[in-house]
Amino acid sequence: FAVIGHDRGARVGYRLALDHPQAVAAFVSLTVVPILDNWAAVNKAFALNAYHWFLLAQPYDLPERLIGADPEHFLDYTLRRMAQGRDIYHPQALESYRRAFRDPAVRHAMCEDYRAAVGVDADADQADRDAGRRLQCPVQVLWQERPYAAGQHPLEIWKIWAGQVEGAAIGASHMLPEDAARLGVHDGQNVSLEVDGIRGGVLRNTIVRVTSQSGLECHVDTEEANAIGLSSSSRVRIVQ
């Protein structure tokens, strides 16, 4: 079977492919590189942006006590940072996150996740690196369009771990699944696009394309774009 994972799911996915290569036919990582390489590339910019990595990995029960003082504020602030300030979360999804995060057992489990990243996860990666073990299946990696820690390229990192690697950057934030879901569209759907601006207008009969490598992009012929004054800074609304 094929495995597609994001965050902890991706780390479980590549560990599954390494430990049980006969079971995994293909692996897709959404915005994740192996933890060993992640730690090796940490710099000041990464540390400031991914502050929760270092906070939640502290020994029990320091982070549990700190985030438990105001769980909803910590969660909302962190999700906004992950989404790069964009309003991408569906209200029902956001409420589900908040409801779960109110549970002390859930917050403890999340801390244990980050503790694993500095402990057993990193140790397992290092053991595989030392032994020369690599993923035997094809690997695809998708990442958001921004530099990775210390300027490293995700494809080059994954080529250390696998022989068959492909991927691309897409116009999205760290929360790829939410980016797609919030638009409420599906592959092949016919929509209209409302364009703001001095001239503005509506582009009708626009076909939505959704694939595993789709990005948040709008492709318009030059002549059509010029006719309504569309530029890279224009605001566009999807009308269904």
Question: In this structure, are strands 190-195 and 236-239 parallel, antiparallel, or unpaired?
Answer: antiparallel
% residues pLDDT > 90 (the chain): 51
**Structure confidence at residue 8 (pLDDT):** 92
More confident residue, 211 or 153: 153
pLDDT at 58 over 90: yes
Catalytic residue, candidates 6, 7, 76, 196 = 7
Q: What is the rounded average pLDDT for all residues in the chain? A: 86
**Does 87 qualify as catalytic in the annotation?**
no
pLDDT band of 13, cuts 50, 70, 90: very high
CB 160 within 8 Å of CB 37:
yes
Catalytic residue, candidates 37, 125, 174, 179 = 174
% residues pLDDT > 70 (the chain): 85
Take residue 16 and report the two structure tokens written for it. 């599954």
More confident residue, 79 or 211: 79
**Structure confidence at residue 1 (pLDDT):** 95
The owner of tokens 């494809």 is 155
**Structure confidence at residue 173 (pLDDT):** 60
**Structure confidence at residue 193 (pLDDT):** 83
pLDDT of 107-151, one tens digit each?
Answer: 999 999 999 999 999 999 999 999 999 999 999 998 876 655 545
pLDDT at 205 over 90: no
What is the mean predicted confidence (pLDDT) over 190-204?
81
Whole-number CA gyration radius for the chain: 20
Check residue 60 and report its DSSP letter: T
* One-character DSSP codes across 153-181: -HHHHHHHHBSSEEEEEES--S-HHHHHH
CB 3 within 8 Å of CB 28:
yes
Per the DSSP assignment, residues forming a β-bridge with 170 are 144
Question: In this structure, are strands 201-207 and 190-195 parallel, antiparallel, or unpaired?
Answer: antiparallel
Q: Sign of torsion, CA 2 17 11 83? A: negative
**Structure confidence at residue 126 (pLDDT):** 97
**Does 196 qualify as catalytic in the annotation?**
no
More confident residue, 138 or 216: 138
pLDDT band of 186, cuts 50, 70, 90: confident
CA dist 229 and 240 (Å) reads 22
pLDDT of 15-51, one tens digit each?
Answer: 999 999 999 999 999 989 999 999 998 888 888 888 9
Q: pTM for this one?
A: 0.70
List the 2-6 sheet strands across, edge first.
2-6, 26-30, 139-144, 165-170
| 216 dihedral zone (left: phi>0; alpha: psi -120 to 50; beta) | beta
